[in-house]
Amino acid sequence: MGGLLALSRGIDRMNTVIGRSAAWLILLAVIVSATNAVVRKVFSISSNAWLELQWYLYGGAFMLAAAYTLLQNEHIRIDIIYSRWSRRTQIKIDIFGTLFFLLPFTGLMINLVYHSLMISYRTGEVSMNAGGLTIWPAKAVLLAGFVLLFLQGISELIRNVAILKGIVPDEHAHISPHEAALREAELMMGHPHEEHAHTHDTATKKHEDRA
């Protein structure tokens, strides 16, 4: 199990570096978008290549950060149900979902995108838009994103099994921002009377003690 945990930590480190670096693609996309808008308005010049580059950059940020998002437990789930179970049950659900949904889906997408990428590369496929970009680099980023997500799924599976066996502590026993917001809302809406009653009882007791 030690070797598998080392593999898991290595995958986590790799996806952390790639995921954080991918955030810069958003900045580049904003710069390209702003520049393209200014040039179009001021000089009445437009380019499909610049427009498609924006899509490539945004898509690259989304795909390359997907694995890091999984590592941070920030992917969307039905928190209103998931959060009501014990942490041990949550881990078992995560293991089931990884084995029967995440890994099969990403494995299928890797296979499909790989073959599509090879065809695009061999044929020199380009965009159907006039002056558009070559297609295969975008498909390569898509393939890389699914590979990273597949590897992160392996890492999550290893770590969750180790946690259930008591080999490693549950370092990811945190809740998502959405779940935190739900719990805070429930606390505010469901317990105001209890909190008021507790405050009133405390004040009454202090008054009686003074008397």
Q: pLDDT, tens digit, for every residue of 41-62?
A: 888 887 888 889 999 999 999 9
Please count the other Cβ atoms lying within 10 Å of the Cβ belonging to residue 93: 15
Q: Is residue 46 part of a domain?
A: yes
Q: Is residue 207 part of a domain?
A: no
- pLDDT for the residue numbered 106: 97
Average pLDDT in the chain: 83
* CA–CA separation, 55 and 106 (whole Å): 22
- pLDDT for the residue numbered 48: 86
Q: Is residue 202 part of a domain?
A: no
- Residue by residue, DSSP assigns 152-179 as HHHHHHHHHHHHHTTSS--TT----HHH
Give the whole-number percent of the chain exceeding pLDDT 70: 81
Number of structural domains in the chain = 1
| 200 pLDDT above the threshold of 50 | no
CA triple 65-66-72, angle to 5 deg: 90
Q: Is residue 139 part of a domain?
A: yes
* pLDDT: which is higher, 10 or 199: 10
Q: Is residue 156 part of a domain?
A: yes
- pLDDT for the residue numbered 66: 95
- pLDDT for the residue numbered 179: 59
pLDDT-wise least confident of 60-74, 137-151, 179-193: 179-193
Q: Is residue 169 part of a domain?
A: yes
Q: Which domain holds residue 157?
A: 2-71+85-193
Going from the C-alpha of 126 to that of each of 22, 46, 122, 163, the distances in angstroms are 24, 18, 11, 48
Q: Is residue 79 part of a domain?
A: no
- pLDDT for the residue numbered 195: 43
pLDDT band at 116 (very low <50, low <70, confident <90, very high): very high
Tell me the mean pLDDT in the region 167-190: 66
pTM equals: 0.77
Q: Is residue 22 part of a domain?
A: yes
